[in-house]
Amino acid sequence: MARKRGKILQYNHYDLEQALNAVKAGDSIRNAAIKFNVPKSTLGDRISGRFDVIKPRHGRPPAIPVVIEDKIVNSVKMAAKLDSVERVSY
C-alpha cells in the first residue's frame, strides 16, 4: 500500500498577503485567517517573524553556499568546453 501524502496547500500566496495586510491594518489573526482561508498558525508564524513572509524555504539549508556552487558549476562547464576533464581513478 502506498504511503499517504500530507495535506495539500489550501491557500495561495495572494490570500496569505491579503491576510497579512488585514492583520497589519488592525484585524485579529484569527479573523483574518477565517476570512482569507489561511491557517491561523501559518499567519501567526509570518506575523511574528518566525518564518519568512515572502518565500519560506523548506528543508535543511544547503551544505555549499549558492555562490560557491555557481563557481564550481562554471568551472566544470569551462573544463568541458575545453575538453580537459580528467578521469578520477577509482
- pLDDT in the model for residue 26: 95
Among 14, 13, 12, 16, CA closest to 47: 16
Q: What is the CATH number of domain 13-82?
A: 1.10.10
Where is 41: in which H helix or E strand?
Answer: helix 40-48
Provide the CA 68 distance to its chain's centre, in angstroms: 20
Identify the residue with better confidence: 49 or 86: 49
pLDDT for 15-37, tens place per residue?
999 999 999 999 999 999 999 99
Helix, strand, coil percentages for the chain (3-state, nearest 5): 50, 0, 50
All three cell numbers of 17: 498577503
pLDDT for 42-66, tens place per residue?
899 888 888 777 666 677 888 888 8
